[in-house]
């Protein structure tokens, strides 16, 4: 694995961690909560965001307006069955999700979930570093690169690792702030 490949894999790990963070409910309405909701539409799972306009009219409400009215009940069912823990209310043309305020206990649980996602991201980045360093050592043993070049490459991959782990820590601090802010 080359350094450029390692960096691109690390960037993907950051993006994956960010997507995981987006699925965590804060006290405010956020359309990203519905990113992973799939609707059984004409026999195939379809992302909710491709079937409806999703907006947040206020801090505690998400409004979902289907492009096709016939999909309203399917969308409502998919939201009810998803793991977001919100009950949809259907008025015939728009589905509304009311976001209840979080208790301090629930906030603490969500901070732990965010920390778990961050740790998974860090482990992923460390695994990329390990694989890259192993590859560099193999190249050194087979005399494809000199000992100095190998050490230089290992230093670079360590700096990349530190940079991306710091980025995950930043994202986690931001998410914790979002969760704990009332």
For the record, the structure tokens of 27 come out as 């006290």
Q: What's the CA angle centered on 59, arms 53 and 64, to 5 degrees?
A: 20
For the record, the structure tokens of 59 come out as 């801090």
* DSSP symbols for 19-49: HHHHTS--SS--GGGGTT-EEEETTEEEEGG
Tens-place pLDDT, residues 94-120: 999 888 888 888 889 889 999 999 999
Residue 146: is it exposed, middle or buried by C-beta count within 10 angstroms (0-12/13-18/19+)? exposed
The model scores a pTM over 0.75: no
Residues 48, 23: Cα–Cα separation, whole Å:
14
Tens-place pLDDT, residues 133-161: 999 999 989 988 888 999 999 999 999 99
| Summary mean pLDDT of the chain | 89
> Which pLDDT score is estimated for 104?
87
């Amino acid at each position: 694995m080359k350094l450029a490949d390692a960096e691109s894999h690390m960037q993907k790990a950051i993006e994956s961690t960010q997507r995981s963070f987006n699925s965590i409910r804060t006290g405010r309405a956020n359309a990203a909560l519905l990113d992973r909701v799939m609707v059984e539409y004409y026999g195939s799972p379809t992302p909710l965001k491709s079937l409806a306009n999703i907006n947040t009219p206020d801090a505690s409400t998400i409004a979902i307006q289907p492009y096709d009215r016939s999909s309203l009940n399917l969308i409502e069912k998919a939201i009810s069955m998803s793991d977001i823990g919100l009950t949809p209310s259907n008025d015939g043309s728009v589905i509304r999700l009311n976001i209840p305020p979080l208790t301090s206990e629930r906030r603490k649980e969500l901070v732990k979930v965010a920390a778990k996602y961050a740790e998974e991201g860090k482990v992923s980045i460390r695994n990329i570093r390990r694989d890259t360093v192993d590859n560099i050592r193999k190249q050194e043993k087979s005399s494809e690169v000199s000992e100095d070049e190998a050490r230089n490459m290992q230093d670079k991959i360590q700096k990349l690792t530190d940079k991306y782990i710091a980025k995950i820590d930043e994202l986690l601090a931001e998410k914790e702030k979002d969760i704990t802010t009332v």
